[in-house]
Copies of this chain bind each other. A is one copy, B any other.
Amino acid sequence: MKVAVTRKEHFNAAHRLHNPEWTDDKNQMVFGKCNNPNYHGHNYDLEVTLVGTPDPATGYVYDLKVLSDLIKDHVLHHFDHKNLNLDVAYFKELNPTAENIAIVIWRILRQQIDNQYDLKIKLYETERNVVEYPIH
């Protein structure tokens, strides 16, 4: 039986939901206020969870200070106080919905975290809209 450890971080960013293959009318109909061409923004709360077995020498599954630094270096450094559509390469051709942001963050961190640890992302776009990835 394993233990899950979670570190919470946050970042603030602007974004716009838009599908360039659609007409303006269809974009407006599907994405509504989120399609504003001048962007809007959010305080994103990010929870990163690793699952593993505690090391008997430390009692840690994973040093959460190290995890926090990995998140800061590989996610927050690129996302915080940015325009996700314009400043973050991952979203040049990918709509920055909460779902896609969570998947991108998972892919970034999966390369930094040894595969012995399961990795899960939970992202709060607002207090009321939340996504989790992956779900098995």
Contacts and interface: CB of A to CB of B under 8 A. Distances in A.
Interface of A: 1-10, 12-15, 17, 19, 21-22, 30-34, 36, 38-43, 47, 51, 54, 57-61, 63-65, 68, 80-83, 86-87, 94-100, 102-103, 118, 126-136
Copies in the assembly, this chain: 6
Contact of A83 (B7, B36, B68): B36
Contact of A58 (B41, B95, B136): B95
A135 B74 CA distance: 27
A83 B15 CA distance: 10
Contact of A39 (B14, B58, B133): B14
A100 B37 CA distance: 24
Contact of A129 (B6, B59, B81): B6
